[in-house]
Chain A
Amino acid sequence: MMEHIRTPKVENVRLIDRTVSRKATVGTLYLSATHTIFVENNPETRKETWVLHSLVASVERPPTTPSGSHLVIRTKNFQVLELLVPQERDATDIHASLARLSRPEKYSELYCLSINPTANKEEREESWSFLDLQADYRRMGVPNNLWVGTPANSEYRVCDTYPSELFVPKSATPPVIVGSSKFRSRGRFPVLTYFHQDTLASICRCSQPLSGFSARSQEDEQMMQAIMKANPGSEYIYVVDTRPKLNAMANRAAGKGYENEDHYTNIKLQFIGIENIHVMRNSQQKIIDIKTPSMGDFLWGLESSGWLKHIKAVLDAGVFIAKAVAEEGVSVVVHCSDGWDRTAQACSLASVLLDPYYRTMKGLMLLIERDWVSFGHKFSHRYNHLDGDPKEVSPVIDQFVECVWQLSEQFPCAFEFNERFLIQLRRHVYSCQYGNFLGNSQKERRDMRLRERTYSLWPQLWKDRAQYVNPLYRADHTQTQGMLRPNTTPYCFKMWKGMYNRLEKSAPPRHSPADLLTAVREETQQLEQELTNHQEVAPRGTAHSGTKQGIQTPKSKMKRPGRPAPSTGDGSVDSPPHDYRSTQRGPPDPAMTLPLGPPKGSDPDDLSSACSDIESGVIDLSSRSSSGGDDCKDPESDEAIYCPAWSGTRGPDTGRLPC
């Protein structure tokens, strides 16, 4: 990638604060193989801003002005970075470099493959065995006397976008499987994704049948019959077609379509009406573009984007399936067109609703690994990992993640993880810092030998779980038990501010009660520990005062995470935090300061090697503190470790929003 970097370092670049003040900070811009890095000149703070190349969505160059050339970098996680470069030539170079660096053409250019992790084979292999899908099937009681594993797809012979290990009804013979797969789009025949032990009902997934106007397949009909028979408690199954009925009908003209209820005995067909990837892509673009100075415009923009309507449709699909399985005890076969987008959304949401396990951190990881990764959701196409067909791009998993968030807003005690976990998860889907989401199917990943060449994300997230815990989660709380029955009335859906307006100044995510509670709990534990020590040392209360002060400060220590915000305390912001003066016509952007996250503290390993080949100025930065990301945990401890050599004074949480 280095050959694409025309100018590795530009000095006297201004980073423009996109708030009302439009203040600029002067600093140096570095281009590394993986990041764009801006380092403030101010020796007091030396604030760093890191932007991963793979997260760059676009780089614009507005017309040159007398003061220099502007560059506007928009990232895939909805952040915007505006730079003013003094020399036009530099701006051209940066623009060209970034345009190329942010659009890799080959997998080998991606972060997780280009940055060869200092090969620790054991650690790497261990990271890939962190999750065990088969163990999760066993957890739900599969295989059993109704469902069995089939070797039909070993070596991906029957369906190259399916995983090699699949579960089918015990009565489904190999000819039935093969016949059914021939009658399904891309060979994606019905297979088990979730088995509900209480009712013995199951969720199966597949693609649309190649029924056209009249075609039928005996084997496919037998397959459906077998699925019904695999649930002794029910006389019929639901076939959920997650598409709008019109779309499904249109597909018949192309020799595809949906199940004819006359040919299949005992199925009930249900259309849900989730729109296709093109509609979703446009809708998300609209919600990103909402300009929000006035409430009226905002709500109008929200409405006309249609985004929340789509979110509701996805959730409705999940609710329908979950209810059928848990309340009626009826098995459900889910498909859309190819069965890898809407089907993945609907099936995984149904699992979240049905099974409390998938509302834990590890459970959600497994769910994504199963319903998305293993079943051939086309990650690299959908999230534009390589410069490819823009029409293939669509925020499919964004919608799933957002549905989970909407649920967690409705059931604050039901999820083990917090909003930050979801945001981080989504970020990694786009960033390619780990090998998990590369490629479009299990087969592709195997062919790329990703397990030998990259690390898995999951153990890393798990290691950092302390910052992803929802303190309100109680494994024994009523909200945690059994099936979730969400209210899907329109007023229950709201704009996900944490995702789309992340950098607004006041009340950043760190100021949520949840964060405070986590802090309180940690604090308490720590203090209890101190207290224990203290009691051991001085059982009769003759302690030295140092420890005692520690005991008396829980409140004051709590301040850091919960600091009520605004601006003044921190010193980094000295203008009024909001534009009260021009209420309606102010510059539209919500206050945006710039902690565009460098890859979080989670991947110093890959970074350290990254730095070996970039120029010396940047090497120091590799030992950066974890300041700046969405993930700014208590910086004090981190900085003690990471405090970069060049930074004499310890910056106050380097330009972060006031915590």
Chain B
Amino acid sequence: MEFSEHIKTANVEDVVLRRPFYQPTKGTLCVTGHHLIFSNRGGDSARPFLLLLRNIDAIEKSVENLLGYSRLFSSTGQSQRPSVSSGTITLKCKDLCVLQLDIPGMEECLNIASSIESLSSLETVSEMYPFFYRPPFLSLQDQWGLSSTEQHYAQMKEIHDGWRVSQVNRDYSVSPSYPPAVIVPHSIDDETLVKAARFRQGGRFPVLCYYHRETGTVIMRSSQPLSGANRKRCREDELLLQAVIDGSELGYIIDTRSSQQAQQARMTGGGFESKSCYRGWKRLHRQLEKGKVLQESLIKLVEACGDQSHSVDRWLSKLENSKWLSHVQTALSTAGLVAECVERDGHSVLVHGSEGTDTSLLVSSLAQLILDPDSRTLAGFLGLLEREWVQAGHPFQQRCAHSAYSHVRLRHEAPVFVLLLDCVWQLARQFPLAMGFSEPLLLRLAKEVYASDYGTFLCNSDQERCVTGVKERTHCLFQSLLRANERQHYSNPLYERTELAIWPSIQPPSLQLWKGLFLQWTDDALHLVEAQKVIQNLVSQCHRPLNEKVENTDG
């Protein structure tokens, strides 16, 4: 490994670390290939503080060389040795934590800073920490991932008549961002799929993501059709969609772009399903922001949360100006619309935007959470994320290269996944009993997606994960989260399964800023964490003695 060339100074003594919730502490700072390690000099039982370099979003340094100089001439007049120059490094992390290191020695400070800068921005996947992380409690022999398309299909007996698993993408040649296996209508053969794929951006032809038992209708997702300026048609694509609504008179296409955007997309070869070509499909447009707009929204929000000095008016205007809550509202309302089509109207839905790797996934997974009690359990939710985000080819590596603090020019960054987590949090807040998982899980995921010990969020697609050996040489986060002790921590103590759909309120007063995430490093968050603990204790206190007594009685 060549990490060592980036490390000019590996160790510095007498560094002062300042971080939220802790008193400043003095200790030794050590830079390794993937971590900053800070150990308290006292060396008590206190574990060293470990920071994944990948977690660092931005680094600011200020070097003070004048300190010693000014002291020489200070009026107190004590003749001092000119104290050594020192520097301060401010680390702004992707989990929104801001910490500060006071480092004695200007040169050391600059060395450390430059090591952090280069090591935190390494982009070779196979050099990333998940390839080196070997905890004793996990084995590389374990299954990577929770499930596969085939297993998922096998569990849904009720769809076996109308739907089949197609391996048409087994070598990723039909769609590089799709998994090898997908679920499609029984009546559509692979050849048709191949042709339909050529008519969809990135080969992402419509595939099944959710089957609604009560109505027998489905949610599908895809990318935009490549109808282009000449209004090209593709018979196979039309056949595929026809097969989806086979027998029923109507299906809805929820296009996550405005109709104007969809029109414009034709100029660049994209487009939309025209009414005349897709009989029985009705198109609805709901504009969801993504890409740069979303990233900038996050940046503005985090900036607003970081400044505690302004007045209520200014805070509210900054909050409004960030538009983040508007994005939450639109995402939830579009998902609500999809769910409504499926559950209330009994019509199948196809969701797509342009690439079909961002907002489509957001909407389809939120709709499933609204409708499907199975996806609201801890394991079910992680399974949903695996299917709808990891396997479905959300380009995590591109989207989460940088977070809200980075000064680097934006390329493909967009916090779509964070937006999903926020929406899920809003759902969980409105339905405190309906989710099997708790806020700490969402917070953990929000952190892991940017910087992780695990390989789950590496790469942009299943194909890339195979090529780089992620599945053989890293551990799977989802598996790890489901281990007994973790499961306990991430479960909702109030969970009580409901078979009903949970219709979120999208009225603005019902949607709140996710303090747990955006203000997690303030005192305010601490009180809420305490309250969570009390809830946990209460529930366990209430149940435990009772259960014991019942057992005694039975015995």
Contact = CB atoms under 8 A, between A and B. Distances in A.
Interface in B525-547: 527-528, 530-531, 534-535, 538-539, 542-543, 545-546
A303 B317 contact: yes
A520 B505 contact: no
A579 B503 CA distance: 10
A562 interface: yes
B550 interface: yes
A562 B432 contact: yes
B550 A531 contact: yes
Contacts of B310: 490
A138 interface: no
A521 B542 contact: yes
A472 B535 contact: yes
A296 B527 contact: no
Interface stretch (A173-181, A421-429, A566-574): A566-574
Contacts of A397: none
A578 B508 contact: no
Interface residues of A, number: 79
Interface in A464-482: 471-472, 474, 477-479
B337 to A, nearest CB: 4
Contacts of B508: 292-295, 297-299
B503 A578 contact: yes
B340 A576 contact: yes
Contact of B305 (A299, A491, A500, A564): A491
B512 A494 contact: yes
Contacts of A477: 530, 534
Nearest to A309: B312
Given A479-B530, A564-B498, A302 B431 contact: no
B319 A541 contact: no
B549 A528 contact: yes
Nearest to B511: A295
Contacts of A200: none
Given A303-B320, A312-B312, A491-B315, A413 B534 contact: yes
B312 A490 contact: yes
Nearest to B315: A490
Interface string B196-222: 000000000000000000000000000
A565 B503 contact: yes
Contacts of A504: 505, 507, 509-510
A412 B365 CA distance: 32
A520 B534 CA distance: 14
B555 A541 contact: yes
A626 to B, nearest CB: 24
B506 A578 contact: yes
A516 interface: yes
A298 B534 CA distance: 33
Contact of B316 (A294, A299, A497, A565): A299
If over half of B's interface residues share one DSSP class (helix, strand or loop), that class is named, otherwise mixed; here it is helix
Interface string A484-521: 00010111111101001100111100011100110011
A581 B535 contact: no
Given A491-B513, A504-B510, A505-B505, A576 B344 contact: yes
Contacts of A471: 538
Contacts of B314: 490
Interface stretch (A28-36, A39-47, A262-270, A551-559): A551-559
Contacts of A521: 538, 542
A170 interface: no
Interface in A270-303: 292-300, 302-303
Nearest to B492: A513
Interface string A513-546: 1001100110110011001001100000101000
A582 to B, nearest CB: 10
B46 interface: no
B323 interface: yes
B357 interface: no
Contact of A520 (B512, B515, B542, B555): B542
B391 interface: no
A583 B286 contact: yes
B434 A578 contact: no
Interface stretch (B120-128, B130-138, B325-333): B325-333
A289 to B, nearest CB: 14
Nearest to A501: B509
Contact of A412 (B504, B509, B531, B545): B531
B506 A563 contact: no
Given A487-B523, A528-B546, A516 B432 contact: yes
Nearest to B340: A576
A292 B317 CA distance: 16
Nearest to B322: A299
B430 interface: yes
Nearest to A484: B527
B502 interface: yes
Contacts of B340: 576, 580-581
Given A491-B305, A497-B510, A566 B501 contact: yes
Name the residue in B333, B432, B509, B545 with the highest tally of chain A Cβ atoms < 10 Å from its Cβ.
Answer: B509
B504 A578 contact: yes
B96 to A, nearest CB: 14
A71 to B, nearest CB: 25
A478 B555 CA distance: 40
Contacts of B2: none
Contacts of B539: 517, 520
A562 B496 contact: yes
A501 B513 CA distance: 17
B498 A531 contact: no
B329 to A, nearest CB: 5
A489 B512 CA distance: 16
A230 interface: no
A494 to B, nearest CB: 7
Contacts of B554: 541
Contacts of A412: 527-528, 530-531, 534
B80 interface: no
A568 B554 CA distance: 38
A128 B280 CA distance: 72
A560 B507 CA distance: 25
B531 A413 contact: yes
Contact of B313 (A309, A413, A506, A566): A309
Contact of B337 (A474, A501, A580): A580
Given A308-B316, A507-B510, A521-B538, A565 B502 contact: yes
A495 B545 CA distance: 40
B52 interface: no
User: Which interface residue of B310, B329, B528 has the most chain A CB atoms within 10 A?
Assistant: B329
B500 interface: yes
Contact of B524 (A306, A492, A562, A567): A492
Given A303-B320, A524-B542, A583-B333, A295 B534 contact: no
Interface string A124-143: 00000000000000000000
A595 interface: no
A577 to B, nearest CB: 4
Contact of A511 (B313, B432, B500, B538): B432
A516 B542 CA distance: 12
A292 B326 CA distance: 12
Contacts of A583: 286, 329-330, 333-334, 337, 506
A602 interface: no
Contact of B431 (A494, A507, A578): A507
Given A308-B312, A535-B553, A569-B500, 17 more contacts: A296-B326, A300-B320, A309-B312, A487-B523, A489-B524, A506-B430, A506-B504, A513-B494, A513-B535, A516-B433, A523-B542, A531-B549, A563-B498, A564-B500, A578-B503, A578-B505, A580-B334
13 contacts: A299-B319, A303-B312, A490-B311, A493-B312, A511-B432, A516-B432, A520-B538, A534-B553, A564-B433, A564-B498, A565-B502, A576-B344, A590-B505
A-B pairs, 9 with minimum CB distance: A298-B508, A490-B315, A412-B531, A299-B320, A580-B336, A303-B316, A309-B312, A580-B337, A506-B505
